[in-house]
Each structure stands twice: as C-alpha cells, then as structure tokens.
A = this chain, B = another copy of it.
Amino acid sequence: MMARALSSSINGVSDLFGLSRANHLSPSSSSSLRYRPPSAIKMVQTQQTYWATIESDIETHLKKSIPIRHPVSVFDPMHYLTFAAPRTTAPALCIAACEVVGGDRAQAMAAAAAIHLVHAAAFTHKNIPLTDRPRPEPIEHKFNPNIELLTGDGIMPFGLELVAESMSLGLNNPDRVLRVITEISQAAGSRGVVEGQFKEMDISLSEIDVGLIEYVCKKKEGELHSCAAACGAILGGGNEEEIENLRRYGLYAGMVQGILNGVGSKNRKGLQEMVEKLKVLALKEVECFKGNGKFDGILAWFESELCNV
C-alpha cells in the first residue's frame, strides 16, 4: 500500500517530458508481480513489507516532530505542507542504507526526516505561483503564496535542526552528524536540488534534450537519493567504501526514478536506454552487500519501484 503510494511520488519533472508513470500502472499492486514465480512473489512481498514499515516509521517520526502547536499560524501550514508533498523514496533509502551497513534504524531517522523536509520545501516552493513560471502546476493551494513561501523557508532549516538535535539522543557521534549536515545542505542547495531546479527551467516541452533531462534528474532525484543513501551509511557506521557504493547506488537509482516519473512509458528511446544503463550501474554498486541479511531490503525499492514498468 505504501509502496504503491510511492509509485506516484513525483518531485519534479513529471509534467515536463511525457506522461506520468503512475498513469501506466494498474491500481492493483499485484499487477506489477504478474510475471513472477510464487517464490519471487513472496520475496518481493517481504521486501515491500520491509519498505512499508520504514515508510510508516518515518511518517510517525515526522508527525511527532512537527505537531500543530503554538504559534498555530506557523505550524499549521508547516504541518500541512510537510505532508502535502508527494512522497519520495529518498528518506526510506536513507534508513535502508543505514541498516544494510549494520546500523540501527533510529540512528538514521532524523536524517531521513530531514531529507523528506528538503523535498517538501522544494515541492512547496516549486508550486508557488510566480509571474515568470512557464508551466504552473495544476495544484490546489490551501494557503496563500506568501505563506507557502515563508513555510518553505521554515521547513528546510527545521530539517537540519532535527539532525543536529538527534545528537542529544546519544545515538550518533558528532563527527557523523556534522558530516550528514554537510551532505544534506549540499544536496539541498545550489550544487544539488536547487541547481536541478534552475536547469529544469530550460527543458522544452516540444523537444526532448536527453542530456539536459539526464542532468536535471541527476541533480534533483539523483542527488537527493544519493545523499540519502550516503547519510544512512555514514550514520549506520559504514566504511568509506560502503558509503561511496551506496552513494552511487542512490544516485543511479534516483535518476532512474526521476526519469521514469517523467517518461511514464518506454516510447522515449534515448531515455529508455539511459534507464537500462543506470539500472545496471545501480545494481553493480550494491553487489558487495549480497549475503548481508538486509540486502533484500536495500533492493526492495529497486525491485518494486524501478523494475516493474
């Protein structure tokens, strides 16, 4: 159910270069499993359960972290806009990466929440009606633009505050937490998601520029997932090789998700080739975790989200 909800997670290019992938999926989650033998179905179901519990834990953590409290005029829109943003799989990947290197879920929870908040802030600002927005999204606005602007501004530092404060729980050492704050700041900022949003403005509706789409997906979904996986590995105590493997896994798999969310079907030849290439690259990065009890977990998203379209 959660995995299905994730299939419609779109944080950017959905409307820019084709139909949304969600439109091409049957509403029944079992449809995506129809070519699998029973044993494979069971494994995928277990993976999906694993993924669903992660998602549920992150949601619980976020609800606890952002209650509707005083001042209500600030926290009501903050709460609303945090949960109005479509899910991305990046926060759950952060947890899965932490666990695959032997860490505990709680160690990566604040970082996973912060990564969702980076995405929620970007999504909120992306949908503010501006005079020079070439393609305004057909989205329902519960709050006025000024409130959405300010709330987005408040969400982002709150995410980093959560990570910094997680130190006080005694779950992580300060060096790891500081490294994660740097990672998230970079991924969120002008060399990451924001750069992707800048470049996204150059994407033309009428003409597919494969190189530009690749770059935008790299900077947006790619960097967010890459950062998420690296942060999880850092907090879980992974060694440098594991951190870099997971960082690249996140990058390639995130890019696949970005492209699929935008492409929706296989009729864009150049993009489909890129997707296949990225899938191979992604799987290569996590081969080293084979035999690890959590290997299925790290693959769960890949299996259910990226390989059934």
A152 near B: Cβ within 8 Å?
yes
Bitwise interface map of A from 59 to 92 toward B, beta carbon under 8 Å scored 1, else 0: 0000000000001011100100000000000000
- Judge if A186 is at the interface, Cβ distance under 8 Å: yes
Which residues 85-130 in A have Cβ within 8 Å of B in the complex?
121-122, 125, 128-130
A158-B185 contact in complex given A175-B174, A198-B71, C-beta closer than 8 Å: yes
Q: Distance (Å) between the CB of A170 and the closest chain B CB?
A: 13
Asked whether any CB of chain B lies closer than 8 Å to the CB of A33, the reply is no
The copy count of this chain in the complex is 2
Which residues between 165 and 201 of chain A lie within 8 Å of chain B, taking CB atoms? Answer: 165, 167, 174-175, 177-179, 181-182, 184-186, 188-191, 194-195, 197-199, 201
Q: Chain B's nearest CB lies how many Å from the CB of A34?
A: 42
A165 vs B198: C-alpha distance when bound (angstroms)? 25
Name A129's closest neighbour in chain B (CB-CB): B131
Within 8 A of B (CB), among A130-181: 130-133, 144-147, 149-158, 160-161, 164-165, 167, 174-175, 177-179, 181
Give 5 nearest A-B pairs by CB, closest first: A154-B190, A174-B174, A161-B185, A157-B185, A154-B194
